[in-house]
Amino acid sequence: MTDAPRPFAGPTALRHLRRDPVLKAVIRRIGPCTLQPAMRDPYEALVRAITHQQVHGRAAEAILNRFIALYPGHGFPPAPQVLATPVEAMRGCGLSGNKVAAIRDIAEKAVGGLVPTAEVAARLPDEALIERLVAIRGVGRWTVEMLLIFTLGRRDVLPIDDFGVREGWKVSAGLAEQPKPKELAVIGEAWAPYRSIAAWYLWRAADADKAARIKPKAAKVPVPGAMPGSAL
């Protein structure tokens, strides 16, 4: 019998974050942290991230599924086979020329060892991974920070350039405008070593504020409610 996965935000993390009165109120309002990292290889996570850049979620998934379908018998397209795939075939999946170039660069760097396996990545510090992976076409610091949080399950990453995180702090702290990235970095020092969890709560706070400000349009007949729901 296997042990259940350790919660991303356990009691110790929440107790620590509640020392900040703003986060304490956010945690009380949002409830338990439901984040569960996907635990994919960094290569796959980066390809998925590139596919989703500047594309609506459903459309990106449709493009990604067509891309995966080019490689039957594989859970995800192996890097060597991606490099052997004609550009036209990849473009036929709906990928832009820039995205094809970025995905091929990720595949090339994976074959060459620059993109580490999950086992190797687990032994590398956050900043070492960021410095290593931003050398790849189309991959910036924010993309690697998302990989650190949502794929590798790192608990102490604060993406200070992320709009949603800064917006979440603005609305939760009652500010007139978003903090500058450097300002948020200073504020977030007190949240270490659980800054990824703080970021998750600030994302949810921004989402909740946006939902509260969007007024539903009047309808003559009842409309079934919709289920609530990542640059090249």
Q: Is the dihedral of CA 180, 183, 185, 191 positive or negative?
A: negative
**C-alpha to C-alpha distance for 87 and 90, rounded to whole angstroms:** 5
* Cα–Cα distance list, 79 to 76, 113, 116 (Å): 9, 11, 12
Cα dihedral: 127, 128, 131, 132 (round 10)? -150
* Cα–Cα distance list, 219 to 121, 214, 216, 226 (Å): 52, 15, 9, 15
How many CA atoms are closer than 13 Å to the CA of 228, on its beta-carbon side?
5
Nearest to 39 by CA among 123, 122, 127, 139: 122
As to burial, measured by CB atoms within 10 angstroms (0-12 exposed, 13-18 middle, 19+ buried), residue 184 is buried
Q: So which residues are the catalytic ones? A: 162
Q: What is the CA radius of gyration of the chain?
A: 20
